[in-house]
């Protein structure tokens, strides 16, 4: 793999991670303000895409395998204008 390809891939992954992290932060705060526990909130946010513990570990900053992270990226919602 060439350096340019690696750089492009890394940048795209970082951008997706930032978008997802911001969305999870907002949704998690809303759910917890609504009276749900943190684990219940992660369960609802994971939407059966992955185990809620995987989402929680990623959200807390742990490094996961690429396959797991790619599954998480399917949770990204398009922003409504």
pLDDT tens, residue by residue, 15-71: 999 999 999 999 999 999 999 999 999 999 998 899 999 999 999 999 899 999 999
Give the DSSP letter of residue 23: H
Tell me whether residue 78 is in a domain: no
pLDDT band at 73 (very low <50, low <70, confident <90, very high): very high
Three-state SS sequence of 41-57: HHHHHHCCCCCHHHHHH
Instruction: Kindly state whether residue 20 falls inside one of the protein's structural domains.
Output: yes
**What is the count of structural domains for the chain?**
1
Residue 4 lies in a domain: no
Q: Which domain holds residue 45?
A: 11-73
pLDDT higher than 60, residue 74? yes
The Cα 39–Cα 28 span in angstroms is 10
């Amino acid at each position: 793999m060439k350096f340019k390809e690696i750089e492009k891939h890394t940048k795209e992954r970082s951008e997706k991670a930032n978008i997802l992290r911001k969305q999870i932060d907002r949704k998690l705060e809303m759910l917890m303000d609504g009276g749900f526990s943190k684990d219940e909130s992660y369960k609802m946010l994971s939407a059966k895409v992955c185990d809620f513990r995987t989402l929680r570990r990623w959200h807390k900053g742990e490094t996961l395998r690429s396959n797991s992270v790619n599954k998480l990226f399917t949770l990204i919602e398009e922003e409504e204008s």
